[in-house]
Amino acid sequence: MLLQILLGFLCGMTALAAENGTAQQGPPLLLVSFDGFRADYLRRFPMPNLKLLYSQGVLVEQLTNVFITKTFPNHYSLVTGLYAESHGILASNMYDPTSHKHFHVTNDTDPMWWNEARPLWITALDSGYKTAAMMWPGSDVVIGNRTATHFFPYNPSVTFQQRLGNVTNWILGNEKEQGVMFAALYWEEPDRSGHIFGPDNDTAMGKALKEVDDNIGLLMSELKRTGLWGRINVLITSDHGMAQCSAERLIRLDDCLHPDNYTLVDLTPVAALIPLKDAEAVFSLLNKCHPHMTAYLKKAIPDRLHYRNNERIQPIILIADEGWTIVQRGDKLPRLGDHGYDNSLPSMHPFLAAMGPSFHRGYRISSLQSVDIYPLMCHMLSVPPQPNNGTFNHARCLLAAETCWDVPLVVGLVVGVLLVLTTITVLFRLFGHRRPSSPRPFQRLQVDDDDDDDPLLE
C-alpha cells in the first residue's frame, strides 16, 4: 500500500516534470564569470552585494566543474555543456598530433582548437537572436565560421566597468540594432590574486573579494539604471576554485627521469607528456616518482574524469595531489595558489548565483554539475541545445515556473500520514471492541451527576 502511494507520487512528479519541460521564450540572459571564485570564499568573506543578489534569487553552493579544473576548459564547458574531452579545449597548453600545432592561452585564436563544439553565443544566433561575449575565453575566435554578434578581442586592461557598459548597451540595443538575448561577461579576479597570494591569505584575498563584490554592486546598479533589473536573468558563476601551494610541496620530474625521455606539453598540476622512448618504461619511472603524484597511461585515465577520448590528450598524464606543484627541476615555486587539480576536490569548485524573473526567490541547493548550466540556459532562451553532457532536469528546480518536490520531505510526509492513520485505526478498533462491555461511562455522563466516585472506565 505504502509502496503504491509512493510510486503514485513519483509518477505524478515525473509527469509534472515532463509537462514543465515545454520551453517558452524568456527574458535576456547575462552570464557573468569571476575567474577563480572558489565556493568557500562566499562563507569566508563578506560579500554584501552578491548575498543581496542571491537572496532575491537562487544559490548553488558548489558547482562540480570539469577536469582539468583550468580556466579555458571550464569556460568552454559552461557555454557548451560538454566535458573537456568532448569540446576539445583540454588544457592551458595543448599539442594536436594531427596538425602538429601547439595551443597556449595567449595563442588561442586558431579556430581548429574550438571547432569540436559550438558555444551558446553561436547556437543562439540560429534561433534568430543577437548575442554578445565580452572577453569570455574563445569569444574572439571564429567558431564554425561565426562569432557572437558583438565581442571584444581579449584585453586585460579594459576595466570591469567598461566591459559591463558595453554589455548593457548591447543588451538594450537601439533603433538600428536589436538588443542581444544572450551575453557572456568575463572578469579576471579573484583568480589573479589567488595565484599571487594563495587562497589562504585572508588579507589579500579579502581585498580581492571586496573588489569583486564592488563589481557585482556595479553590475546591479547598472542594471537598475538601464531599467534591465527585474527584466533580465543574471547568472554569476566561475570556472574553478584555488588551492594553496607551497615550496615544501614540489614534485621534481628530473628526480625521476631524464628530460630526454619525453616531450612536455603541459606541466602542473596536471602534466601531459609524450614519451620519446619505451612508453611503458617511461610510465614505470613516473608511476613511482612521488607519493603525491598519480601517473596514468591515457587508456587508464578514470572514467569519472571524462578525460580520455580526445587526440589532444597525451599518452601519459600526471596528476598532482591538492596543493602540490609539479616542476621539472629546482626549488622555485611558480605560484602560491593554483588550480587544475581533480575536480572532485571542494577547493576546485566554484558556485552559481542567479536572479531574475525566471528564477525562484530565496532558493538554495548544495550542488550541481557545471555542465548542467548549459541546458538550463538553452531552456531559458528556448534555444535547441546542441548534444551535451548536462541534464536540464538537474537544474530545472532553480526556475520559478517549475514545480519541484523535495522527495525526502514528501516520503516523510507520506510515512507520517500513514502512521497517524494506522494509529487512529488501531485506537478505533480498540474502542470498538470495548464499547459493548462498558456502557456505564456513557450512562454516567448522561444522567448520573451524583456518582462522582465511579471510575469513568473500568
- Which positions touch Zn ion (CB under 5 A)? 35-36, 71, 191, 239
Judged by beta carbon, residue 191 or residue 338, the one nearer Zn ion is 191
Non-local CB neighbours of 427 within 8 Å, separated by 6+ positions: none
Residue 344's SS3 state is coil
Judged by beta carbon, residue 140 or residue 402, the one nearer Zn ion is 140
Length of the chain, in residues: 458
CA distance linking residue 158 with residue 212, whole number of Å: 15
| CB of 238 vs Zn ion, minimal distance in Å | 7
Judged by beta carbon, residue 28 or residue 36, the one nearer Zn ion is 36
| CB of 173 vs Zn ion, minimal distance in Å | 31
Judged by beta carbon, residue 33 or residue 261, the one nearer Zn ion is 33
| CB of 5 vs Zn ion, minimal distance in Å | 48
Q: Which string of DSSP letters, residue by residue, matches 297-331? A: EGGGS-GGG---SSTTS-SEEEEEPTT-EEESSSS
| CB of 296 vs Zn ion, minimal distance in Å | 23
Non-local CB neighbours of 160 within 8 Å, separated by 6+ positions: 187, 215, 218
| CB of 285 vs Zn ion, minimal distance in Å | 32
Judged by beta carbon, residue 82 or residue 286, the one nearer Zn ion is 82
Give the start-end residues of each E strand in 122-241: 130-134, 150-152, 180-187, 233-237
Contact 95, 364 (CB under 8 A): no
> Which residue's CB atom is positioned nearest to Zn ion?
71
Instruction: Compute the Cα dihedral for 29, 51, 162, 151 and give only its sign.
Output: negative
The backbone torsions φ and ψ at residue 237, rounded to the nearest 5 degrees and listed phi first, read: -150, -165
307: nearest Cα among 117, 148, 69: 69
Residue 82's SS3 state is coil
Which is catalytic among the residues 71, 80, 131, 168? 71
| CB of 345 vs Zn ion, minimal distance in Å | 15
| CB of 377 vs Zn ion, minimal distance in Å | 20
Sort strands 262-266 and 363-369 into parallel, antiparallel or unpaired: unpaired
Residue 110's SS3 state is coil
Judged by beta carbon, residue 244 or residue 393, the one nearer Zn ion is 244
Name the grid cell of 71. Answer: 580556466
What's the distance, Cα to Cα, between the start and end of the chain in Å? 37
The 10 Å Cβ neighbour count of residue 233 is: 22
Judged by beta carbon, residue 191 or residue 342, the one nearer Zn ion is 191
- DSSP class of residue 146? B
Q: Is 425 a catalytic residue?
A: no
Judged by beta carbon, residue 137 or residue 385, the one nearer Zn ion is 137
Amino acid at 218: L
| CB of 33 vs Zn ion, minimal distance in Å | 8
Non-local CB neighbours of 80 within 8 Å, separated by 6+ positions: 87, 117, 118, 119, 120, 374, 386, 388
Judged by beta carbon, residue 151 or residue 187, the one nearer Zn ion is 187
| CB of 163 vs Zn ion, minimal distance in Å | 16
Q: Which residue has the cell 577520448?
A: 309
Q: Which string of DSSP letters, residue by residue, matches 430-456? A: HHHHHGGG--HHHHHHHH-TT-TTS-S
Non-local CB neighbours of 212 within 8 Å, separated by 6+ positions: 34, 37, 47, 50, 187, 189, 190
CA distance linking residue 354 with residue 325, whole number of Å: 34
357: nearest Cα among 60, 27, 58, 54: 27
Q: What amino acid positions are annotated as catalytic residues? A: 71
